[in-house]
Amino acid sequence: MTDSLPIGKLATRWLQQDLDPDTRREIEALIAADDGTELERRLRKRIAFGTAGLRSSMKAGYAHMNSLTVLQASQGLADYILAQRHLQGTSGRPSVVIGYDARHNSQKFARLAAGAFLAKGFEVLWFGILVHTPMVPFAVSHFGAAAGVMVTASHNPPADNGYKVYWGNGCQIIPPHDKGIALAIADVENIIEWSETLVEQSTLVQRIYIKTHTAYFDALGKLISESRKDAPRNTADASFTYTPLHGVGLSFMRRALHELKFDANLMYVVEAQAMPDPDFPTVPFPNPEEKGALALACQEAERNGSKIVISNDPDADRFAAAERLEDGRWHQFTGNQMGTLLASCFIETKSYVPGGTTVMLASTVSSRMLAMMGFLRGFTSRETLTGFKWLGNVAQQTAREGLNPVFAFEEAIGYMFPSVVWEKDGVAAAVVFLAGRRKWLADDGLTPYQKLQQLYQHYGYFEDANTYLISPSSEVTQATFAAVRTLNNGVIPTHVGKRRITRWRDLTLGYDTSTADGRPVLPTDPDSQMITCELEDGVVFTARGSGTEPKIKLYIEATAESSAEAKRLANDVLRDLLQEWFEGLRLAGT
């Protein structure tokens, strides 16, 4: 649609389509200033629709999040769903769940999306109130909806927003739906309904907040009761400090604590970050993983005397925790460490049967410690591609195979509990962590950090050296990986530093030296860069290009009989990779 038109005509087309006065003024001002360069940036390329939907800064233009691109996405998604239902011979009126968080324009975009689906004859299952992201896929499954839309940009900066899509199975979309939806969006020529108020007027709208809220916390309560049958109602020194980082998490955490039968007075809240605020005024970047994001919470914890800090990101689908150690230092648990702790919660219960049907999952860039736990404790572990679109869908596949998926995680502080929802859920993760902490204190007098050390002593020490490099462009990323594949006189490398590569898996080209036919078990994607290597001393690393940011991400994990030795091995491999594979690219933070 946008490739061949002169920029002036493209700007005219935008003004013909856009009914939002604010974004119209942006384009009109650029036209008046004769700023062809900025018009090209805004209008030439459409915002890409991928497996996570849409995400970008909020500006006028086809390349950004705004009222028009949200309506085009909604209309295209509706067309695609209707076409799929026709192919499958599905009758009846389809329904779609729509939710939104507290970001700038989230409610507005959700209302516009609702109007587009209503105009296409859909029933809209409408929350009409701020929800955390997992509530949308939960409602999709609970009500049997055809799809779900959550308007959120998760932990992105304040200027961003997004449009996250869930399929009728309650999972994020995977191929081929992502490409099919993208094509349907590109085919949208005219907006058939532009209304923020139709959702208040139509008889096809069902308000679902109360029913969904009740059903969700029922499921959460069952998760806790099934997993913590022998947990006491209270223990000494069980207080903690919580921050939702200016997001939507506080009300959900309070209800979760009620389900957990915790004394509400055990939770101290960081008041400066308690209420939703789309400007995130107290943190430079509202992601609990980022350095300094939990600083205010740790200060509050030191004032109130609690030794544990927990946090959700602004849409509360991620979870982070930190513990104050005996020497006064704060230890923030990595995603891999927390994944290990949460996994241990399931295998320490009376209901767990070694060698049974239990399965747990981790993405390929996450810790191999889960696989070691499965090997020694008798449950099945599965590896997936990165992202909960894969963890959720693969978990459902294991259920169809007769297995019982109970937990999945990714190193980027995401944790899924399939009995609740087929998506990462920061509130559910917080509940399981707090229940586990309560049990460890009651049974053995262990804090979460001490429990982690106990697990290391039993399964081995797993330490990582994860980082990322700044890549100037996707072309540079592709050229870098192409060069890596021919470092060894035109063929793939046999060593990294002095360490021999014992396994080479390339999910871009579809090659794996460990399989009989040389083909990977995991899906391949020629449009994304990902290479995984196993080295002779047990170090495993993955290098991949980010799909949403100008980065090359490195995930390096080593295992040894001590933490210091594992860290040394991982850092040695990082040093060798930077020198041999990625020389010239800028390391994060430098």
Give CA angle at 97 (92, 99), nearest 5°.
165
CB 171 within 8 A of CB 393: yes
Residue 504 near residue 496, CB atoms below 8 Å: no
Of 3-7, 373-377, 468-472, which range is least confident?
3-7
**Residue 129 pLDDT:** 97
Copy the structure tokens of residue 112: 């516009």
Distance between CA 516 and CA 509 in Å, rounded? 16
Q: What is the pLDDT of residues 81-101, one digit of tens each?
A: 999 999 999 999 999 999 999
pLDDT 10s digits, 13-68: 999 999 999 999 999 999 999 999 999 999 999 998 877 799 999 999 999 999 99
Euclidean distance between CA atoms 480 and 372, whole angstroms: 33
Across-strand partners of 57? 160
Q: Residue 450 pLDDT > 80, yes or no? A: yes
Amino acid letter for position 155: H
Q: What is the mean pLDDT of residues 151-164?
A: 96
Residues 191-203, mean pLDDT to the nearest whole number = 97
Q: Which helix (H) or strand (E) holds 488?
A: none
Residue range 463-587 forms a domain whose CATH class is: alpha beta
Q: Give the CATH number of domain 225-459.
A: 3.40.120.10
What is the predicted pLDDT for the residue at 97?
98
Domain range list for the chain:
7-207, 225-459, 463-587
CA angle 187, 191, 197 (to 5 degrees): 140
Neighbouring CB atoms inside 10 A of 411's CB total 22
Sign of CA dihedral 74, 76, 77, 79: positive
The domain covering 7-207 belongs, at the CATH homologous superfamily level, to Alpha-D-Glucose-1,6-Bisphosphate, subunit A, domain 3 (3.40.120.10)
524-556, pLDDT tens digit by residue? 999 899 999 999 998 999 999 987 678 899 999
How many angstroms from the chain centroid is the CA of residue 303? Answer: 32
Report, as an integer, the average pLDDT of 570-574.
Answer: 97
Residues with a catalytic annotation lie at 154
pLDDT value for 264: 82
Q: Phi first, then psi: what are they for 524, rounded to 5°?
A: -110, 160
Is the predicted pLDDT of residue 223 greater than 60, yes or no? yes
As a whole number of angstroms, the distance between CA 419 and CA 112 comes to: 32
Q: Can you tell me the distance from the alpha carbon of 353 to that of 287, in angstroms, rounded to the nearest whole number?
A: 37
Domain 7-207 and domain 225-459, same fold? Reply is yes
pLDDT in tens, 113-122: 999 999 999 9
